[in-house]
Structures are given as structure tokens and as C-alpha cells.
Amino acid sequence: MLNVERLMIRYGPISAVRDVSLHVDAGEVVGVIGPNGAGKTSTLSAIFGLVRPAGGAIDFEGSSLVGLTPESVVRKGIALVPEGRHIFGTLTVGENLLLGTTPRPDRRAFRDELGDIFARFPILETYFDSPAGRLSGGEQQQLAIARALLSRPRLLLLDEPSLGLAPLMVDLVFEILGELRDEGVTVLLVEQNATRTVEFADRTYVLRDGVVRHSGTRDELVGRLDLAHAYLGVREEVAEA
């Protein structure tokens, strides 16, 4: 579904991403982990059209995304849940949700879909008419995911969805992601919780210094890859199982 080849991203003289190649097949949950500054968010930003690559290719379902605006990327079937959630605090929860339907031609169907949203995120029904800024961090994350799902994406990009959340909320976020996977939603997940991501995702890429250092399925990585060394670069080899 998504194919990224030799991606390069520069911010002035600084190379944030030097050589990243990855792919996501339909129905997969693919994780991307790595230390701060590894190039994870920059990679998602390039896929979503927020930054223009300095080199490389990004193809979605056989069509290039390079040079497209975020609005055009959304219309192709990709949604982003950004780091920090970026909900509109002065708007109500309902108004934030309605914004998720913006790229769709059938926004009038919004009310018909709220039942499914409330079944998955009951807290959003409770606070539907309240300002979104009153929600807790975990509740705002649920709102951000729900808003993205209302664009009916075929590929969901998530950037650090558990960042700053209490452990119970982290559990809830991963439970929701598991439900989405069971329903066939394809997910590219950038996440700070490395161990949990490797155990949860079908495949995971480990980025460091703008380069993919390791990749593999959960069976290939769990118990074999020393994540501390993979992050810090002390040792590159994979330990014996």
C-alpha cells in the first residue's frame, strides 16, 4: 500500500532523514521506533505532505505523494494523528469531530456515523457539546483518533499516540489500535514505547540518525534485538535467541 524508498529530508543544512526505506502492506500495523531526533516524525511529515523531501520516493497505492499538499494526501485516503493531538480546544468535541469529515463529499452522513464513534469512544458522547480543551490528555487522544477515522482513511498514520499519557490510557490507546487492526485498518505507528510497539506491530523499523538500522517482524525482534543498544548505537548485532 505504502512504499518509501531512500527518503531524504533536510531542514536547511541539517539532515533529519538521510536514507529511509520502508513499506506497509494493506491490513498491517507497522511500527517505527527510535530515539529523539531519529527522523521518525519527519518521515511521517513527508508522507503526509507537511514537508517536501530532498530526495527519494513516496508512493501510495502506486501513486506518488511527493509534492502533494496535506489536503490532497487526505483525499487519497491517508489520515494523520499528529504528535500532541492538535485538537481545537475552543471548539466543542462535536465540532472537532465534524472537521474530520472535511475531505469527504458526503459530510451529511456525519450524524449517521456518530453511533459507531460513540461505541468505540463513549467519552466523546459524554462531552460532545463541551469544549474539547476540557478533556484530559487521554480523552483528547481519543478525540484525535476519532477525528482521523471520520475521514475514512485506508492508511492511518499515528505519531506518538501514547506520549504523556497515564498507563491506563496507554493501554486504552493500544486496545483501540488492536480493534482497528482487527477491522482491517492499515496503520503506520510512530511510538516512543519501543518494547510495546515491537510486541504489538506486525513489523517494526528501528531508526537512528535518519537511517533504518534494524527491521523485522515481532517474532524476529522480540527477545532478540537489544533495543537499548539499537537506540544508542553501542552494538549493531542482533543477539542469539
Which residues touch 95 (CB under 8 Å, ≥6 apart)? 88, 132
Give the start-to-end residue ranges of the domains of the chain.
30-51+66-232
> What's residue 238's pLDDT?
39
Summarised one tens digit per residue, pLDDT across range 15-32 is: 999 999 999 999 999 999
Q: Looking at the predicted structure, is the pLDDT value of residue 39 above 90?
A: yes
Question: Which parts of the chain are beta strand (E)?
Answer: 2-11, 14-24, 29-33, 55-60, 63-64, 78-81, 155-159, 186-190, 203-208, 211-217
Summarised one tens digit per residue, pLDDT across range 200-241 is: 999 999 999 999 998 999 888 876 666 666 665 544 443 333
Of 114-123, 125-134, 188-197, 231-240, the range with the lowest mean pLDDT is: 231-240
For residues 228-240, one letter each, b for 16 or more C-beta atoms within 10 angstroms of the residue's C-beta and e for the rest, the string is: eebbeeeeeeeee
Summarised one tens digit per residue, pLDDT across range 143-161 is: 999 999 998 899 999 999 9
> What's residue 227's pLDDT?
65
Phi-psi region of 14 (alpha: psi -120 to 50; beta: other; left: phi over 0): beta
Mean of pLDDT over the chain: 89
One CATH from 3.30.470.10, 3.40.50.970, 1.20.1250.20, 3.40.50.300 for 30-51+66-232: 3.40.50.300
Contact 93, 128 (CB under 8 A): yes
> What's residue 192's pLDDT?
86
